[in-house]
Structure 1
Amino acid sequence: MTTGTHRTITVDLEDRSYDVTIGPGVRHLLPEAVARTGARRVVVVSARPPEWVPDPGVPSLFVPARDGEHDKTLATVERLCSRFAEFGLTRSDAVVSVGGGTTTDSVGLAAALFHRGVPVVHLPTSLLAQVDASVGGKTAVNLPEGKNLVGTYWQPSAVLCDTDYLSTLPERELIGGYGEIARCFFIGAGDLRGLPLHEQIAASVARKAQIVALDERDTGHRHLLNYGHTLGHALERATDFALSHGESVAIGTVFAGRLAGALGRIPASRVAEHLDVVRHFGLPTALPSEVDVDGLVALMALDKKATHGLTFVLDGPGGAELVPDVPRHVVAETLTAMDRAPRTSPTGERADHA
């Protein structure tokens, strides 16, 4: 549904259905979203300054947080749950998250676990979170052994994607968010290049909503959303998160095209299209020079999808699908053949995006 400058997309999950509202100023719909949960009080967990957070319309506690993979841990979830308990939060109350994808993940998991589940409303402030992380109900935190290894499914009550927040993002963080948009090209969202940003967000969310409605708990079809993510998650770990999630998924998308080509699933022209789409958004396409191929393969073997050997979501004659038991040597050879970029610094800065 489109109303003025706002677009509303429903994630249809029967009694757990909710709306994702996209557009400028939609953060000010927070009191309405909270009222629909029936909450008497809320805890607002925010990685953004208090003045960025609208009044939720009920008594509230503001808890500061930090975006970033290094804070996306069980220790963070425990601290949040302790603050909920100190405030006296009950199952008749709610939690509000304000921040990027790591914040929506951590806060969503805390909300899912506290009292075995309290309502949560997400106000994602990064492009990556608006396009992907805040929608679909996946909540998880990291372990030293890998990304998103501890989590559950807990659908939000509402998601408010205020595009005004995006004007506050550093350029690199904004570009990184396009990593999730770029991969949507290969999972059925169509060609989003050239569309206004709010339409790219809406189209990406609409495609995710369709997939989640078909497969809420990753039993099959939802694996499509992991396009580019198997290598992407491994790159995040291998660079100690110097590469952002979006940048890593972008490189993973290029790799997915090359691997599909190496397996004879797609022609050379389609392989090249992966590179063209990712480059269009100004995203990196080459492996960092410092990462080790064997190390990446070992990290990919820890991926949640890898129940039958190395497993990837790959393009093919009928579109993207889950491909299990991909030969290890083909994966290693494809990685070895990829271009290399200059070394990634601890702050994530690179000399170029080859």
Structure 2
Amino acid sequence: MITTVPVSGGDFRPYDVVVGRGLLARLGEYVAPLAKGRTVIVTDETVAALHGGQALRALKAAGFMADLVAVPAGEASKSFSELERVLDQLLARGLDRKDVVVALGGGVVGDLAGLAAALYMRGIDFVQVPTTLLAQVDSAVGGKTAIDTPRGKNLVGAFHQPRLVLADIDVLATLPERQLRSGWAEVLKHGLICDAAFLDWLSGEGAAGASGDPEALHRAVVRSVEIKSAIVGEDEREAGRRALLNLGHTFGHAIEAELGFDETKLTHGEAVALGCAMAFRFSATNGLCSADDAAKAEQAFVSAGLPVRLDAVGPFKAEALVERMAGDKKAEGGRLTLILAHGVGDAFVAKDVDRAAVIDFLKVEGAA
């Protein structure tokens, strides 16, 4: 089964997210209507070994002059140095404005390749072929591209929508179990934001997706993309409602930064799971949602084998975490903006959150 979810709205050109099995082998067929001539696949070394050959063959079979550029796997590749290297490789291969970049990989590759495409000759087309669950349900959709700096995650970037997203469920079979669970955190997040019935399915019959069941994964990816695309269509540049998609990310990004973005300690999806659980507990502490809702949110992550407790991840200082949170992209003038909840499926944007209240909460959570 193949499902197509249209993404449209705002000022950007509409595009499709195609979800199904066996799509990578048909990559050239899907890209051919978008461009002719040259294409460069940007990927990482791990994905190149697993899927790079098939992607190249599919593009060449469709008549493309195709090359592949691989960066080291991991968050460290979202850097100025790797961005410069990718741009140099695009220039060396002579791409012009009618050519296309293919981002084949997880969120790191999608962010890096997308930003390179946004900058190259002031913007050329790119296609997202996400190979992780996290990228299929989140980072590959919506046009956010970025690199990290020592001062924080995703602080240098651009909005640059893809022309097409191909989410091949089959490639998820090559994911390590930990990475699949990490992607499941973003799936659960979508239910917590605005679809309590979806969360109930994910916590019941749909839980098989967290263990790799293709049919459950297909439904989870499609519904997640539907939720995200509807929000992006209303607010491409995160001026308002799109910030809801960052549920769990303000706490999570601060924790990641304090750990040095070391995915051996904490993956991005694990940080999101922990951040979502913390956001619901903070909401309950401040009387915004019930303790039962906070417990339900927490249990959804626990059942998927994801972390929910700050003191189980490592020692942190409350002041240091709050300083990281104040540098978040959603913050305004150093004042904290958090995504909180009135209940499961009812998230909202809370601006100018009291820093002292957050520090007190973090200390209760186990920070020093």
TM-score by length of 2: 0.88
Partner in structure 2 of residue 51 of structure 1: 53
Taking the aligned partners of 1:158 and 1:39, their CA distance within structure 2 comes to 15
Partner in structure 2 of residue 27 of structure 1: 24
Q: Give structure 2 stretches of 5+ with no counterpart.
A: 207-215
Partner in structure 1 of residue 318 of structure 2: 293
CA shift, 1:335, in A, is: 1.7
Taking the aligned partners of 2:364 and 2:185, their CA distance within structure 1 comes to 22
Taking the aligned partners of 1:45 and 1:338, their CA distance within structure 2 comes to 40
| Partner of residue 225 from structure 1, selected from 238, 245, 252 | 245
Whether contact under 8 Å (1:135, 1:159) holds in the other structure is: yes
Taking the aligned partners of 1:169 and 1:19, their CA distance within structure 2 comes to 24
How large is the Cα RMSD of the aligned pairs? 1.6
Partner in structure 2 of residue 351 of structure 1: none
Q: Which range moved further: 275-284 or 208-217? A: 275-284
Partner in structure 2 of residue 349 of structure 1: none
Taking the aligned partners of 2:316 and 2:21, their CA distance within structure 1 comes to 40
Taking the aligned partners of 2:84 and 2:187, their CA distance within structure 1 comes to 32
Taking the aligned partners of 2:2 and 2:360, their CA distance within structure 1 comes to 47
Q: Map of 1:178-257 to 2, 5 A cutoff?
A: 178-189=184-195, 190-191=198-199, 192-193=202-203, 194-195=205-206, 196-241=216-261, 242-257=265-280
Partner in structure 1 of residue 211 of structure 2: none
What amino acid does structure 2 have at the position aligned with 1:27? L
Whether contact under 8 Å (2:8, 2:229) holds in the other structure is: yes
Whether contact under 8 Å (1:247, 1:284) holds in the other structure is: yes
Whether contact under 8 Å (1:262, 1:330) holds in the other structure is: no
- 1:277 pairs with 2:300: yes
- 1:16 pairs with 2:18: no
Partner in structure 2 of residue 348 of structure 1: none
- 1:156 pairs with 2:158: no
Taking the aligned partners of 2:12 and 2:362, their CA distance within structure 1 comes to 44
**Judging changes above 3 Å, is the alpha-carbon distance between structure 1 residues 67 and 205 closer, same or farther for their aligned structure 2 residues?**
farther
CA shift, 1:319, in A, is: 2.2
Structure with the largest fraction of helix: 2
Partner in structure 1 of residue 73 of structure 2: 67
Q: Which runs of 4+ in 1 moved over 6 A?
A: none
Whether contact under 8 Å (1:230, 1:312) holds in the other structure is: yes
CA shift, 1:235, in A, is: 1.1
CA shift, 1:262, in A, is: 1.9
Whether contact under 8 Å (1:255, 1:334) holds in the other structure is: no
Whether contact under 8 Å (2:248, 2:279) holds in the other structure is: yes
Q: Which range moved further: 245-254 or 268-277? A: 268-277
Q: Which range moved further: 186-195 or 242-251? A: 186-195
Q: Map of 1:84-95 to 2, 5 A cutoff?
A: 84-95=90-101
Taking the aligned partners of 1:197 and 1:291, their CA distance within structure 2 comes to 35
CA shift, 1:15, in A, is: 5.9
| Partner of residue 332 from structure 1, selected from 355, 359, 366 | 359
Whether contact under 8 Å (2:144, 2:158) holds in the other structure is: yes
Whether contact under 8 Å (1:136, 1:208) holds in the other structure is: yes
Taking the aligned partners of 1:21 and 1:339, their CA distance within structure 2 comes to 43
CA shift, 1:52, in A, is: 4.1
CA shift, 1:291, in A, is: 2.1
- Number of matched pairs: 336
Q: Which range moved further: 274-283 or 130-139? A: 274-283
What amino acid does structure 2 have at the position aligned with 1:39? K
Taking the aligned partners of 1:228 and 1:158, their CA distance within structure 2 comes to 27
| Partner of residue 37 from structure 1, selected from 34, 39, 56 | 34
CA shift, 1:65, in A, is: 2.0
What amino acid does structure 2 have at the position aligned with 1:289? G
CA shift, 1:339, in A, is: 6.0
CA shift, 1:106, in A, is: 0.4
Partner in structure 2 of residue 319 of structure 1: 346
Partner in structure 2 of residue 303 of structure 1: 328
What amino acid does structure 2 have at the position aligned with 1:285? V
Whether contact under 8 Å (2:25, 2:54) holds in the other structure is: no
Partner in structure 1 of residue 209 of structure 2: none
Whether contact under 8 Å (1:126, 1:169) holds in the other structure is: yes
Whether contact under 8 Å (2:103, 2:110) holds in the other structure is: yes
Residue deviations 1:164-198 (CA, integer Å, cap 9, x gap): 11111111111111111121122113323332121
TM-score by length of 1: 0.91
